[in-house]
Amino acid sequence: MIKRLFDVVLAFTGLLLLSPLLVLIAVLIKRDSTGPVFFRQERIGLRGKPFRIHKFRTMTVAQPGTAMQITVGQDARITKVGAFLRHYKIDELPQLIDVLQGTMSLVGPRPEVPKYVALYPEPTKSIVLSVRPGITDLASIEYRSESELLGKSSNPEKTYIEEVMPAKLAYCVQYVQQQSLWLDIQIIARTFLAILK
């Protein structure tokens, strides 16, 4: 209950204070490339329930059936404005809407697409999906340069599934087992520091 109140207050305050910036970003995205302002994608949330996440669109609009579900290195699909938004994690700000809607939390395991959630081993899957997914978490901080890492692999998806995903899931389990409001505050602070660096 306290965590939910914390989420709602911070998400509402954040959207209110950042609204001029969000409008400016929306205008820049529209001027930079053709397509919608938001990127919506199905992710798996609390107790395995699917939801559509909000992100600022940072890539060109993909043709049906051609989009990869992971970003690898200097992906040619990333727009000029999108590269800036991704570098500073600004593309994640619209997820404050998801926090208000109750499908996400400020801090929690990052929500994954169904394709990869299907590969989660048990009981890890049950643990990770027992809480609301978050905008940031321990894994997001430790794997902030994930796309660059995958860009060095000859088989990025295999590397993601066999190396990156298990390591990130371990952080997710650690968070669920140790979660507290104080830990959330620490993770939010570490996220800001990582972005500033």
Q: What is the pTM of this model?
A: 0.88
Q: What is the DSSP string of 3-24?
A: HHHHHHHHHHHHHHHHHHHHHH
Tell me which residue range forms the domain holding 72: 2-196
> Total domain count for the chain?
1
DSSP 164: I
Number of helices (H) and strands (E), helices first, in the chain?
10, 4
Give the tens place of pLDDT for each residue, 147-161. Answer: 777 877 788 888 889
Q: What distances in angstroms separate CA 132 from CA 50, 106, 125, 175, one per listed residue?
A: 12, 9, 13, 12
In whole numbers, what is the pLDDT of the chain averaged over residues? Answer: 91
Over residues 72-99, the mean pLDDT reads 88
Give the tens place of pLDDT for each residue, 67-80. Answer: 566 666 567 788 99
